[in-house]
Amino acid sequence: MTKTLLLLGLGFLFICNGFAQETRNDTMQNMFNEGQFEALNEYTEYYLVNEPEDIDLLYYSAISAEQLGDLQHSYLQLSKAIELYPDTSYLYNVRGSLLLSVNEFDAALADYKNQFRLAESDQEFVAARLNIAAAQMSTRKFDSAKVHLEKALEIDSNNVGLLINIASVYSEMGMNDIAIKHLEKAIELDPEFIASTANLGFLHLEIEEYKKALYYFNKVLEMEPDDPYTLNNRGYAKFKLGDLLAALDDINLSIELYPVNPYAYRNRALIYLALKKERLACADLHLALNNNFTVRYGNEVNELIEKHCK
């Protein structure tokens, strides 16, 4: 990290400055880890006045701003850092993820391709391919995403994140048997990683294997009892298995924990319809609409309203 200098005095100063830089970076990382985002943002802005081109200050300024919801400032800081240090792989990774979060898919993909171009280690190649695949999945380019994920798995066949993502791709392509095998392997590798188990439960739900779906949702809720999405999904599985009151309990709790999930209102409406409680069902269908069900999932709720709520 420090190079040997012929002049002892200069060497001493260089080492001290390097130590100070490391100490400052440790401070910033600790502030981020502890969730002190406002303090971190103020800290970086203070030092950037005199060191406006410091890559670490720009990076921590960007990620603290993102955590505070100032996505524009985060983007500008990352873009400045990339302009100053165009061969720094991780900057493209972070900016690409920011762009992906606001649905700027093409721009995110361009950043991830630069991340891949600059990758040096196997780990960096895997991370870049995973990111590229995520951007392509967001635009439903599943064939291209599958290629990148398969290439990454050739490097790291036991990477749980890769297995989960390629399972999603195979599921979208209708290859559910292959998707299930990948998720089962992910669970075998890390049985406490909730996403693998939750995704496997949801996949069984989609292919109408409700008892298997229920089994995996129960496993998730043993690990995380208050997960609203899994409660909603388990409630739907119970509904399809005919256990209406238990289904209603799960979905009521899901809505209590997360009241802006339109699918939970849709599912509860279906239960109310099965219980012959059309007034309550119609109220929930309108709540599903108010929470953007149609934009996110299609016209089903409008059709149910037309049928049951005249």
Q: How many angstroms separate the CA atoms of 199 and 251, rounded?
A: 18
Question: Residues 123, 126, 131, 132: what is their CA dihedral angle, to the nearest 10 degrees?
Answer: 140
The predicted-structure confidence for 133-160, as pLDDT tens digits, reads as follows 999 999 999 999 999 999 999 999 999 9
Question: In percent, how much of the chain has pLDDT > 70?
Answer: 93
For residue 106, the tally of other CB atoms under 10 A from its CB is: 9
Question: pLDDT, tens digit, for every residue of 85-120?
Answer: 999 999 999 999 999 999 999 999 999 999 999 999
Instruction: State how far the Cα of 93 lies from the Cα of 104, in Å rounded to an integer.
Output: 14
What whole-number distance in Å separates Cα of residue 213 and Cα of residue 211?
A: 5
